[in-house]
Amino acid sequence: MNYFKKLSAAACMIFLFACGDADRTPKGIMPPDKMTVVLRDLTIAEAYGNNVSSDQPIMFDSLRQEKIKLYSKQVLDLHHVSVKEFTTSYAWYEAHPDRLRDVLNKVQDDIVARKNKAPDMGEMSAPAAYRLRNIFPNAEKALLLSNGTDTIKPFIRHQK
């Protein structure tokens, strides 16, 4: 009978320790807050890359995809995340749909909040740096505003 009590106690301890890590992400996987920020910025970068400006009315899909790859790599560099770390983390989140849903809902809420906070079309005469700070408040070091024009390229850094 004593053996049964010890076995039951050991089983309960294992069960308690196994349940204790339910809200944690494994080592090597980005935590939900960081994954949310990276996915948000990647989403914005992709939208920016898909945007066709009036000076380039026709852009081939392959060029657009290369532009998006460049922006995406710069977003990952901005957050100090390697491509491997991101793909591993994203695969883990895909394997845990409830966690991925939570992250994607936060991304969507953040983008909607930024859209609602962005100036309306009447305020588009404001300087580009001001408009851009509303959308990308932490990316001032990564911005390139060309001299004498109002060209905005938020994910391209100066090449030295």
pLDDT tens readout for residues 124-154: 555 565 666 666 665 555 545 444 444 455 5
Instruction: Please state the rounded mean pLDDT for residues 51-80.
Output: 80
Name the band, by pLDDT with cuts 50, 70 and 90, for residue 4.
low
Q: What mean pLDDT is reported for the chain?
A: 74
Higher pLDDT, 71 or 140: 71
Is 0.85 surpassed by the pTM of this model?
Answer: no
**Cα distance between residue 119 and residue 58, in whole Å:** 28
**Cα distance between residue 105 and residue 99, in whole Å:** 10
At what angle are helices 61-78 and 83-95 packed, to 10 degrees? 90
- Residue 82 sits at φ, ψ, to 5 deg, of -80, 160
User: Which pLDDT value is given to residue 147?
Assistant: 47
User: Which pLDDT value is given to residue 148?
Assistant: 47
Instruction: Judge whether residue 160 has pLDDT over 50.
Output: no
Q: Are 30 and 81 in contact (CB under 8 A)?
A: yes
Residue 117 CB partners (closer than 8 Å, separation 6+): 134
Q: Smallest Cα–Cα separation from 88: which of 153, 28, 130, 11?
A: 28
Name the band, by pLDDT with cuts 50, 70 and 90, for residue 20.
very low
Instruction: Please state the rounded mean pLDDT for residues 71-95.
Output: 94
**Cα distance between residue 82 and residue 18, in whole Å:** 30
